[in-house]
Amino acid sequence: MRDGQFRGVTLLETVVSLSVIALLLSILVPALSSARVASHREKCQNNQRQIGQAWSAYLADNDGEFPHVPVQPGWFYGGCRFSSVDEMAFPDFDRPLTSYLALPRTTNFDDVVCCCPADEGITDVDVGTFGTGRRTAFRSFGTSYRLNAALVSWDGAPGNTPGNTPGSASGSASPVVDEPISHRATRSLRRMEITTPASRLVLMGDPIWYELAQSTGRKADWHGHVKVATASESGTQHRKVPAGNVLFLDGSVKFVTIKPREQKNQPVMFDPIVGGAATPDQE
């Protein structure tokens, strides 16, 4: 400063300052993004653990018998409805599990246990695969988490006891997914009739488990992609694949990838991850 005047900032100083800011942003933005993804995964896992506790309470109160869900059993097992006036979510007590869930009447969906914080909907990438459009799964179905529909749409037919279905793997059944069959159901499925170990039986989870297992062509990779080790002729390689949180019948929640089925549109089995599940190496 000379004679009471301020010296101006030179072009070089401006360039240096902007370069430092750009460098800091390049470091902070990925870190903040990773932290956000990790937070969403953890919140999603906590949500599913609470839903698993609700299922345990339901089965305890109903002698271990699953409910029948006649319409879209993969989604309408429990959850919310929405006001046409103010878009407020409120419990849908027409669904059997809803009374076991602590669902508030709210417009803040972060408070709703059946709403995944990373829910971005199910993207219809191929014509005719029927995604959720621009809406989230929660807004479309009242829940972000897809149930293993075979558990609540079993037809109770003689000889169709889980683990005894002709042509299916041990511990599996073969009802058509998401089709109403209550008109021919003789009784509901009982927990004790399931032969698949509870730690391997998918109860429900992020819909990616269904989309990948069924090779629907739709996308629901809300929690991003993870690095998974794969074997090759030249040794171990790594590739990034979508993964999601899955709730198993024993109440455990795992972040897993799921191998697509060999044939598209196969019925969902009781153990949809046989020979295909992998716990990814998280980055």
Q: 143 versus 278: which is more confidently predicted?
A: 143
Read off the pLDDT band of 58 (50, 70, 90). very high
Q: Is residue 283 part of a domain?
A: no
Q: Is residue 181 part of a domain?
A: yes
Q: 263 versus 159: which is more confidently predicted?
A: 263
- Least confidently predicted of 107-121, 187-201, 245-259: 187-201
pLDDT for the residue 213: 81
Are the C-beta atoms of 124 and 130 separated by less than 8 Å? yes
Look up tokens 């000379």; give the residue: 2
**Percentage of the chain surpassing pLDDT 70?**
69
Mean pLDDT of 211-234: 80
Angle formed at CA 199 by CA 44 and CA 39, multiple of 5 degrees: 15
Q: Could you give the number of structural domains in the chain?
A: 1
Q: Is residue 217 part of a domain?
A: yes
On the question of pLDDT at 175 being above 50, the answer is no
Please give the Cα distance from 31 to 246 (Å, whole number).
Answer: 26
The per-residue pLDDT of the chain, averaged, comes to: 77
Read off the pLDDT band of 216 (50, 70, 90). confident
Mean pLDDT of 113-123: 94
Are the C-beta atoms of 174 and 269 separated by less than 8 Å? yes
On the question of pLDDT at 28 being above 90, the answer is no
Are the C-beta atoms of 107 and 44 separated by less than 8 Å? no
- Least confidently predicted of 18-27, 93-102, 109-118, 178-187: 178-187
Which is it for the CA torsion 68, 202, 249, 270, positive or negative?
positive
Domain that holds residue 182: 33-256
Q: Is residue 11 part of a domain?
A: no
Please give the Cα distance from 75 to 122 (Å, whole number).
Answer: 13
On the question of pLDDT at 166 being above 60, the answer is no
pLDDT for the residue 74: 93
**CA end-to-end distance (rounded Å), the chain:** 52
Q: Is residue 17 part of a domain?
A: no
Question: Which residues face 239 on adjacent strands?
Answer: 228
On the question of pLDDT at 26 being above 50, the answer is yes
Q: Is residue 279 part of a domain?
A: no
Q: 15 versus 4: which is more confidently predicted?
A: 15
How big is the chain by its Cα radius of gyration, in Å? Answer: 24
What DSSP string describes the chain? Answer: -BTTBPPPPPHHHHHHHHHHHHHHHHHHHHHHHHHHHHHHHHHHHHHHHHHHHHHHHHHHHTTTBPPP--S-TTTTTS-EEE-TTT--EEE-TTSTTGGGS----BS-GGG-TTS-TT----B--STTS---TTS-HHHHHS-S-EE-GGGT-----TT--TT--TTS-TT---PPTT---GGG--S--BGGG--S-TTTSEEEE-THHHHHHTT-S-B--TT-EEEEEEEETTEEEEEEEE-EEEEETTS-EEEEB-PPPSSTTPPPPSSTTTTT-B--B--
Q: Is residue 109 part of a domain?
A: yes
Read off the pLDDT band of 162 (50, 70, 90). very low
pLDDT for the residue 278: 53
Q: Is residue 16 part of a domain?
A: no
